[in-house]
Structure 1
Amino acid sequence: MTTTIRPTAAAELVRSFAATAGDLGDRADLARFLREHGLVSAGAIPITLADFDEALALRDGIRAQLRRAEGHPADPEVLARGQRVLDGLRVTVRLDPEEPGHDVLAPAVVDEVRRGLARIAAAWAALAATGEWRSIRV
């Protein structure tokens, strides 16, 4: 008998984001992804080309790191671009991890797109802390 271990919500979010290779073709696709995953509010999201480029760089960097864990080579420039996006996102840590409706790691920015990306960054941080990222396949 095998025990199935259900991925955490953070793992599901990161896997879903990393697997958008053909599904993130334009800014409307990014807005749809962010809304469908509850990363932004339901209203209109003005997404600039710079926002879109950052989202792609983050997605490609995470994807490269996940594939590297599977034994595939990773382009250092792809990883560096993804890291630069992470370096520019602000995430805060909540003091009370049991406060209802609040994640321990939360966006500390007001721009909707960057809030969505910061939530993905927080999910990545949670996976990195536990090592769960190594089990994600894309």
Structure 2
Amino acid sequence: MTTTTTSTPTRPSAAAELIADFVSTGGRLTDRADLARFLREHRLVTEGAIPITLADLEETLTLRDGIRALLDRDTTPDPETLARAQKVLDGLRVTVRLEPTEHSESPLAPAVVDEVRRGLSRIAGAWATVLATDEWRRMRL
């Protein structure tokens, strides 16, 4: 008797999908309007005006480049790129949820009121989730 096993492809988690979208923005994230659009499209901020500074954009791009460097299996990550991205993460304020919510993909929640930093904190939470589940190792650029 022959037994065949079929495997069902595993769908990426919401956190992995967010990280994949974030690192693949490339030329689509070049100015403050692009950043506002990305944050809104991914529901990382509330509706309404988002005051975005050039420093906010720079931090976002720095974080994206650091995560992208870790996910790029074809090259060795530049330590300076990783250090700059880590500095962005170190500056974000997050808190741990006592109870999970229906709409959260991460146990981490933003602990800030600034909309851009709230969005970056949610990206950081998604990154923490893919790290904790080891899903980042299956992600490809």
Decide: shared fold, TM above 0.5: yes
For structure 1, the 5+ residue unaligned runs are none
Match of 1:117 in 2: 120
**After the TM superposition, which of the residue ranges 1-10 and 119-128 deviates more from structure 2?**
1-10
Cα offset, 1:137, TM superposition: 1.2
Work out which of the two has the higher radius of gyration on C-alpha atoms and give 1 or 2. Answer: 2
Identical positions, percent: 66
Rounded to whole Å, the distance in 2 between the matches of 1:64 and 1:105 is 23
Of residues 9, 21, 27, the one that matches 1:4 is 9
Aligned length: 135
Tell me which stretches of 4 or more aligned residues in structure 1 moved more than 6 Å.
Answer: none
For structure 2, the 5+ residue unaligned runs are 1-5
SS in 1 for 2:109: strand
Cα offset, 1:38, TM superposition: 0.2
1:56 aligns with 2:85: no
Root-mean-square deviation (CA, aligned residues, Å) is 1.2
1:25-77 Cα offsets, whole Å, 9 max, x none, are: 1010000000000000110101001101000000000000111xx24211111
The one-letter code of the counterpart of 1:48 is: T
Structure 1 segment 1-138 matched on structure 2, within 5 A: 1-67=6-72, 70-97=73-100, 99-102=101-104, 103-138=106-141
Cα offset, 1:2, TM superposition: 3.6
